[in-house]
A and B are shown apart, each in its own frame.
Chain A
Amino acid sequence: DAKTTQPNSMESNEEEPVHLPCNHSTISGTDYIHWYRQLPSQGPEYVIHGLTSNVNNRMASLAIAEDRKSSTLILHRATLRDAAVYYCILRDWGSGNAGNMLTFGGGTRLMVKP
């Protein structure tokens, strides 16, 4: 399976934008890039996903490099509630059932300072 590399931790100030990087140099043409986050004492929750083009939703934006070997999750204005572990995950849309599982790495622990 293609793997992802993320920094162990990052720090941000409240109300400022946050850019969370993810490297996936061995990504294949059929891999989607998914982001989940895990708030303290909760299970992971879906944030966003994309294939080639940049994506926006109410939670975040996803910027994907032209060669798809890296991506960045963007939180436009961090709040204290955004303090969580953020996971970047590759999911193979062409592998049928094999793509249904989520393969988590260590993720990035985001700390937000008031």
Chain B
Amino acid sequence: DAGVTQSPTHLIKTRGQQVTLRCSPKSGHDTVSWYQQALGQGPQFIFQYYEEEERQRGNFPDRFSGHQFPNYSSELNVNALLLGDSALYLCASSLAATTGLNIQYFGAGTRLSVL
């Protein structure tokens, strides 16, 4: 059973460019969340997708956008890249739950470097 897979594993971009990161959830999961992890810090929640809609969003600017496809896979898009966007981007999948107790399963992340 494949877990959460993310691509690419590493990416180098320059300021002002746009980037798209991809995530395939664990088999059977329908909810995808994205997190940003700066070096030496804990992950910070960006947003969550369920039924192809953004269900919840953290404190991130509109430059960060996402999409979920009918097969539950997801993309994270970042426009007008800044040096401060350099980080590890983590995708987590889970089953939809209203109680918020659902366990989240994380991928290994995409390391984005902005030069």
A32 contacts across to B, CB distance below 8 A: 101
A95 contacts across to B, CB distance below 8 A: 100
Q: Give the shortest distance, in Å, between A64 (CB) and chain B (any CB).
A: 16
Interface flags for B78-114 (1: CB within 8 Å of A; 0: not) read 0000000000001110100111111111111100000
Interface size class of B (residues with CB under 8 A): 20 to 34
The answer on a CB contact under 8 Å between B101 and A91 is yes
The answer on a CB contact under 8 Å between B45 and A103 is yes
Interface flags for A94-108 (1: CB within 8 Å of B; 0: not) read 011111111111110
Cα A92 to Cα B56 with chains together (Å) = 15
The answer on a CB contact under 8 Å between B42 and A99 is no
A41 contacts across to B, CB distance below 8 A: 108
Q: Which of B35, B42, B58, B103 neighbours the largest number of chain A CB atoms within 10 Å of its CB?
A: B42
Q: Give the shortest distance, in Å, between B36 (CB) and chain A (any CB).
A: 11
Whether A106 contacts B100 in the complex (CB less than 8 A), given A43-B4, A100-B94, A101-B48, comes out as: no
B92 contacts across to A, CB distance below 8 A: 43-44, 102
Select which of B41, B56, B106 is within 8 A of A44 by beta carbon. Answer: B106
Show 5 residue pairs from A and B whose CB-CB distance is below 8 angstroms, ordered by the A residue.
A42-B106, A43-B91, A46-B104, A101-B58, A102-B43
Chain B residues engaging chain A, CB cutoff 8 angstroms = 4, 31, 33, 35, 41-45, 48, 55-56, 58, 90-92, 94, 97-109
